[in-house]
Structures are given as C-alpha cells and as structure tokens.
C-alpha cells in the first residue's frame, strides 16, 4: 500500500465555491419545488428545515500539520473539512477528461453500476433489493451514461483503487463486518492518487482498502456509519453535500431506528423526525477532503447533475476510540462479534483483535466481564 505521506510541492489554490440553488423533493412527492437545478430524488435540505445544521469546521491543508490534525480532530473524534487536501494529486488534472479515464481503465473493463440510492440496512430483504439494482456494464458504457444529462442515479460504487488489505483478504464475505459483495476494482487509477501531508503518521486501515473510487452522477448515499476505520472523503471532481450526526445515544437511536424501520430512508418523508437532532453540514468542493471519523452517521448527496469522482481514503482509528463502549456503535460491533463467533468467546476475541477493537493485551477474562456488562 502506498504510504499516506507526501511532500507537497504544488501550491494550494482555492477550490471553486458553489452557489447553492437546490431542488427539494423526495420520491413520495412530498416537498417538491421547482428549481433551475435538475430535481433530485431526495434532498438533504428538507432535514435542514427541521434541524438547522452547524458547519463542519474547515481547515486549510496548506497549514495543517500531522500533529495538529491528530490532536485537534482524530483524537477529539471530530470531523473537519480540509480545503485543498488533494490539490497536488495528478488525478485533479487528469480525471477531468473522460477520454483519459477510458484510456487508463479500458473501454471494455466490466464494472458494477448502482442505479438507485445506496443504503445499508439490517434487513436482509431490503439489502438484497439494494444490491439487485446493480448493473454490470463496460466502463466505456458507464462513462457514456454518466456523462449524459438526465441519466438519473448512476454510480460506480466503491471500486477498489489500491490493493486489498489483509483483513479484507482474510475474512472476505464470511465475516459480518466484511464487504457484502466484492466489487470490481479500478486499480489502473492508482498512479494518479497520492497521500496527504497532514497524515504522515497514519496506520493502514483494517476493514476498507486504503483507496476506493466512486464515479457518479446524481449520487445519494443514505444514512450510515463506518464500523471500522477513519475516512477522508476526497472530491476529485464534482461537489457533494454531507450531513453528519455525532455517534451519541440520541443520534444513534434516531438513525438506527429509521434504518430498521425503513431500510433506506430516501423514499420516506422522514425529515420531521430530525427535529432537535444535532446535525453538522459540509459542502465538499473539488480538491477538498472531509474527515469522517468512525461511528459518525452521515448521508451524502451530489450537488450537481454532472459526472463526478470521489476517492474514499481510509486509515486506522485509534483504539481508544474504536474500543470505547460508551459509543452505541462500538457496543453493537462487539455484540455482533459475540453473536456470530462460532468458537465462542475465544473466537470473538480473535476477531476483536483482528478488527483493532481491542488490544492484544485484552484477555478472555476482560471479555467475559464485557459480555456480562453488555447483557445488562
Ligand atoms: Fe460513508
């Protein structure tokens, strides 16, 4: 894996700022308004009517040191938008061209394209329905579709750009935390991405590949959180809007309740349920990266009807955070490992260690006590 270290030589420039002129709509027809922008199937702006968001803190990559990033954001478990984080990547210049991308990846390479909003659900039937909306097609056909106005939701979702990591290879689809299906890769694009000057001391991610690509038109990803690893949502092309909520009891109850009730929330008029919720918002422009810590719930929507590209870069969460059972998502993770371990508590311990949730120094007796505590 490429080290997440880079000595930048290029200058940071200001990424273009978008004027927000949004349509409001959702699939059941509630709240539809006219707009000069193509209406979206769902809009995060309705939620903002009920829960006015705070801005995610912004920092400049030009002045952000690794020490400051770790001390002020990673260790404090706080998201931030890092302006100009990937201005030095060759991808910023090269991926504007469809011809370049097709030449690099290959016109005939098969990819899996999602044609409906993405969601993760505890309900297997809903999840099957979601996965069933994938179309296999050639990369050339996908690019043609993604470049055409009016194509609707067209997303080449989570295609690995870097090599598979050890955890992914070891557990594959047999593990409840592993990706539910193995996507085709886009490893041909790896030479065009680079590291981050403010992440000199990052450790490799555990669950996710170091770099994954999302090539999209009109993308919407419903509320979810990452059960492992910290993420940098890197906008190479096109802008996205992200709403986030802290992984506390109140937010977790609201969002895990909604996903259990509905699966994907994008077809439901659920905005009023967010009244009083603590919401943070960021618009991530080309060249910027959004730091999304583990367990933070978030929903993501493309801001414009055009082809865009996101790279998700991931790195390891500090164990002091991933293993902190005060967070409901951490408790669910530990419970799921207990529940699915065929070899009892010893097997769960192996998985918890492999997942970076507990240190090697944690013993079976620690885990017995944790299991008793979780039962209460
Ligand atoms: Fe995510």
- How close is the Cα of 157 to the center of ligand 1, in Å? 11
**pLDDT, mean of residues 308-320:** 93
- How close is the Cα of 295 to the center of ligand 1, in Å? 10
- How close is the Cα of 362 to the center of ligand 1, in Å? 29
Clarify whether residues 148 and 60 are in a common domain: yes
- How close is the Cα of 366 to the center of ligand 1, in Å? 31
Clarify whether residues 129 and 251 are in a common domain: yes
For 100-152, what is each residue's pLDDT tens digit?
A: 999 999 999 988 888 877 776 555 666 666 655 678 899 999 999 999 887 78
Residue 37's alpha-carbon distances to 26, 149, 268, 303, in angstroms, are 15, 12, 22, 9
Specify if 304 maps to a domain.
Answer: yes
Clarify whether residues 282 and 330 are in a common domain: no
Q: What's the whole-model pTM score?
A: 0.81
- How close is the Cα of 280 to the center of ligand 1, in Å? 15
Task: Indicate whether 287 pLDDT > 90.
Answer: yes
* Cα four-point dihedral sign 244, 247, 253, 255: positive
Place of tokens 């969002």: 255
For 205-230, what is each residue's pLDDT tens digit?
A: 877 889 999 999 988 888 999 988 99
Specify if 121 maps to a domain.
Answer: yes
- How close is the Cα of 222 to the center of ligand 1, in Å? 9
- How close is the Cα of 62 to the center of ligand 1, in Å? 25
Q: If you average pLDDT over each of 7-21, 32-46, 257-271, 350-364, which comes out highest?
A: 257-271
What whole-number distance in Å separates Cα of residue 314 and Cα of residue 340? Answer: 26
What whole-number distance in Å separates Cα of residue 218 and Cα of residue 118? Answer: 12
- How close is the Cα of 224 to the center of ligand 1, in Å? 6
Cβ neighbours of residue 312 closer than 8 Å, sequence gap 6 or more: 158, 208, 211, 212, 213, 214, 231, 232, 233, 234
Specify if 20 maps to a domain.
Answer: no
pLDDT band at 335; cut points 50, 70, 90: confident
Total number of domains constituting the chain? 2
H or E element: which one contains 128? helix 124-131
- How close is the Cα of 63 to the center of ligand 1, in Å? 26
- Structure tokens, 94: 């090269």
- How close is the Cα of 150 to the center of ligand 1, in Å? 25
Range of the domain at 364: 323-375
Specify if 201 maps to a domain.
Answer: yes
- Structure tokens, 211: 């770099």
Q: What is the 3-state secondary structure (H, E, C) of 69-121?
A: HHHHHHCCCCCEEEECCCCCCHHHHHCCCHHHHHHHHCCCCEEEEECCCECCC
CATH of the domain at 92: 2.60.120.650
- How close is the Cα of 346 to the center of ligand 1, in Å? 31
């Amino acid at each position: 894996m490429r080290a997440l270290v880079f000595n930048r030589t290029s200058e940071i420039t200001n990424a273009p700022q978008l004027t927000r002129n949004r349509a409001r709509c959702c699939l059941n027809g509630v709240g539809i308004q006219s707009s000069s922008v193509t209406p979206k199937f769902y809009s995060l702006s309705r939620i903002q009517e009920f829960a006015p968001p705070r801005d995610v803190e912004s920092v400049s990559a030009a002045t952000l040191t690794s020490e400051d990033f770790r001390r002020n954001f990673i260790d404090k478990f706080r998201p931030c938008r890092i302006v100009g984080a990937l201005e030095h990547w060759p991808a910023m210049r090269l991926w504007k061209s469809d011809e370049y991308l097709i030449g690099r990846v290959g016109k005939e390479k098969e990819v899996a394209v999602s044609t409906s909003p993405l969601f993760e659900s505890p309900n297997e039937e809903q999840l099957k329905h979601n996965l069933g909306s994938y179309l296999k097609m050639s990369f050339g056909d996908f690019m043609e579709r993604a470049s055409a106005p009016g194509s609707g939701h067209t997303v080449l979702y989570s295609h690995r750009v870097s090599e598979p990591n050890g955890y992914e290879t070891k557990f594959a689809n047999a593990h409840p935390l592993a990706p539910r299906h193995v996507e085709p890769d886009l490893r041909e694009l790896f030479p065009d991405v680079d590291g981050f000057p403010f992440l000199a001391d990052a450790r490799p991610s555990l669950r996710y590949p170091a770099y994954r690509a999302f090539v999209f038109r009109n993308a919407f990803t419903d509320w979810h959180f990452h059960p492992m690893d910290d993420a940098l949502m890197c906008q190479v092309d096109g802008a996205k809007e992200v709403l986030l909520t802290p992984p506390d009891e109140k937010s977790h109850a609201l969002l895990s309740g909604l996903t259990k009730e509905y699966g994907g929330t994008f077809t439901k008029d659920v905005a009023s349920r967010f009244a009083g919720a603590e919401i943070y918002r960021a618009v991530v422009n080309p060249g910027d990266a959004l730091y999304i810590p583990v367990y933070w719930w978030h929903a993501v929507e493309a801001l414009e009807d055009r082809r865009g590209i996101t790279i998700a870069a991931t790195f390891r969460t500090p164990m002091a955070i991933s293993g902190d059972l005060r967070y409901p998502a951490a408790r669910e993770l530990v419970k799921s490992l207990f529940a699915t371990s065929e070899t009892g508590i010893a097997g769960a311990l192996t998985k918890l260690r492999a997942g970076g949730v507990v240190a090697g120094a944690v013993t079976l007796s620690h885990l017995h006590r944790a299991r008793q505590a979780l039962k209460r």
